[in-house]
Structure 1
Amino acid sequence: MTPVASLPEMLAVLGAGLAAGVLTSTVGVASLVSFPILLAVGLPPVVANASNTVGLVPAGVSGSIGYRAELREHPRVAWTVVVTCAVGAVGGAALLLALPSSVFEAVVPWLILVTCLLVGVQPWVARWLRSRAGGQIGPRTRMGPVTTFFALLTGVYGGYFGAGSGVMMVAVLGLGLDIDLRVVNALKTLAIFAGNVVAGLVFVTVADLDWRAIALLAAGSVVGGYVGARVGRRLPPTLFRVLVVVAGVVAAALLLR
């Protein structure tokens, strides 16, 4: 393994951490910035993936602090998100260590595109469901079994690879709950944090890591996560939805190359 050593490499990783932190708290495609940079400076894929997960934990901390008001609005949902994503991340981390990194390469881009579609059509789907129910159902402010199951699967994916997992969580929570998108954005950031913490603990115990890269990512991402939260909580719902869809499509296109 070639560790991050030169000044240009260190600056590149630090900048990647800052950008990834901002994206963690906004559109949720952080790994598509930081992971390629780690590969570019010479880290092997599995080492880069594990180091990236650990290094982006501070982004989730600062981002969740930035969204603390939104997270207090639905504490039961917040705790459900934490638990499901944490449990799922354990399975995802185990898959990363046990399976070759190419296993999901053919599937992931299409999975991200499908979730982008779901994010885009969510308002129309919600209205259609309400019209079918004839106004007999109230706002859904708790996660039902189906939403919880898909949040768990998103946690598994986040622990395994993570690119686009924020987009997936926005789709899951947006379709399964009737809450403001700014709160969905906060819950998505919390979900990424929970998954990264648990997967990171697994990686610290059993995986090869580049600690210099982790420190640089952490330094950049802790600032970026908070900045991203301050931006994200002010985004109009329509703009946020458009940005998530655009980010997801770009992510899928990059993975398809």
Structure 2
Amino acid sequence: MTWGETLAVLAAGLGSGIVVSTVGVASLISFPVLLAIGLPPVVANASNTVGLAPAGLSGSFGYREELREHPRVTLAVLGTCSIGAVAGAALLLTMPPGVFEAVVPWLILLACLAVGGQPLLARWLDRQRDDSPDKVLTPATAAWSTLTGVYAGYFGAGAGVMMIAVMAIGLDLDLRLATALKTLSILVCSVVAGIVFVVAGELDWHVIGLLWSGGVVGGYVGARVGRRLPETLLRVLVVISGVVAFVSLV
């Protein structure tokens, strides 16, 4: 790996860490970079998943006050996302690599659409929510949370946006709390799926170390400072990068 590639991956880790705690589509920042430096898609995806774990950890720490507000929901997210992530990681490792290479451009495009439509979703959710203090995951919400975990374990880009929708619609949580739970779900899925990949998959530990180095800083920065960033510009850049990745992969 050249110095330029090393710096690119390190910067991708930092940017992904910030996005983990804000928009929630970190893989659209880091995954295309890993492909650009020559990693095979499945190896890049598995390494990216493991590499994003510290960003989710530092981001969740930054949102620790929000996560304490609904401890039962927090525990439910931990459980459902863990189960889903195992299933998603198993799908990635057991299906032929060609399947993942065929579907990943469309998964990236789906994530781009989710990011682009997030402002409309946020405004709609803000009108629909209530402030009831007692929140419990319904069976339907738990099922959708598990499915989001499956998607995160398999690929992950856009999973954060999906989790925000699940938490905000299913529990009428405001976006601050939904974003905190989304960040926690990314941590859980990265750790659980990462364990599967460490045991049974192929990883590039050099890349993972660089993503860790950038992500642990970016995740905390995203939780504490990300709310002040020009979110519209960030969203536009994420969508553009995703569309470029889609066009280059189809």
Name the TM-score class by shorter chain: 0.7 to 0.9
Unaligned runs of 5+ in 2: none
Q: Does 1:174 align with 2:165?
A: no
CA 1:112–1:92 in structure 2 vs 1: closer, same or farther (change >3 Å)?
farther
From 213, 220, 237, the equivalent of 2:214 is 220
What pairs up with 1:1-257 in 2 under 5 angstroms? 5-99=1-95, 100-102=99-101, 104-105=103-104, 108=107, 109-110=109-110, 113=113, 117=117, 120-121=120-121, 123-124=123-124, 127=127, 141-232=135-226, 234=227, 250=240, 253-254=243-244, 256-257=246-247
Q: Secondary structure at the match of 2:103?
A: coil
Structure with the bigger percentage of helix: 2
Q: Distance in 2 between matches of 1:61 and 1:121?
A: 26
Aligned residues: 243
> CA–CA distance in 1 between the matches of 2:186 and 2:237?
16
- Residues 140, 176 of structure 1: 8 Å contact kept: no
1:101-157 CA-partner distances (Å, limit 9, x unpaired): 135347533476368647624654675798xxxxxx957722211111111111000
What secondary structure does 2:33 align onto? helix
Compute the TM-score of the two structures, normalised by the length of structure 2: 0.85
State the alpha-carbon separation in 1 of the partners of residues 61 and 128 from structure 2: 35
| Contact 2:111/2:158, CA 8 A, preserved across alignment | no
Q: Aligned equivalents of 1:128 and 1:31: distance in 2? A: 29
Asked which structure has the greater CA Rg, the reply is: 1
Q: Distance in 2 between matches of 1:120 and 1:140?
A: 27
- Structure 1 gaps, min length 5: 131-136
Change (3 A) 1:244 1:42: closer
Distance 1:46 1:199 in 2: 13
Letter in 1 for 2:151: Y
Structure 1 residue runs of 4 or more that deviate by more than 6 Å after TM superposition: 242-245
Shift in alpha-carbon separation, 1:244–1:78, aligned structure 2, 3 A: farther
Q: What is the percent sequence identity of the aligned residues?
A: 54
Give RMSD over aligned pairs.
2.8
Query: 1:13: how far off?
Result: 0.8
Q: CA deviation at 1:38?
A: 0.9
Superposed CA offset, 1:153-201 (max 9, x none): 1100000000111111111111112222111111000000000000000
- Report how far residue 41 of structure 1 moved: 1.1
The 2-side partners of 1:206 and 1:74 are apart by 35
Matches of 1:158 and 1:24, distance apart in 2: 13
Distance 1:169 1:246 in 2: 20
Alpha-carbon shift at residue 56 of structure 1 (Å)? 0.9
- Cα pair 1:30 1:163 within 8 Å, conserved: yes
* 1:12–1:111 distance in 2 versus 1, CA, 3 Å: closer
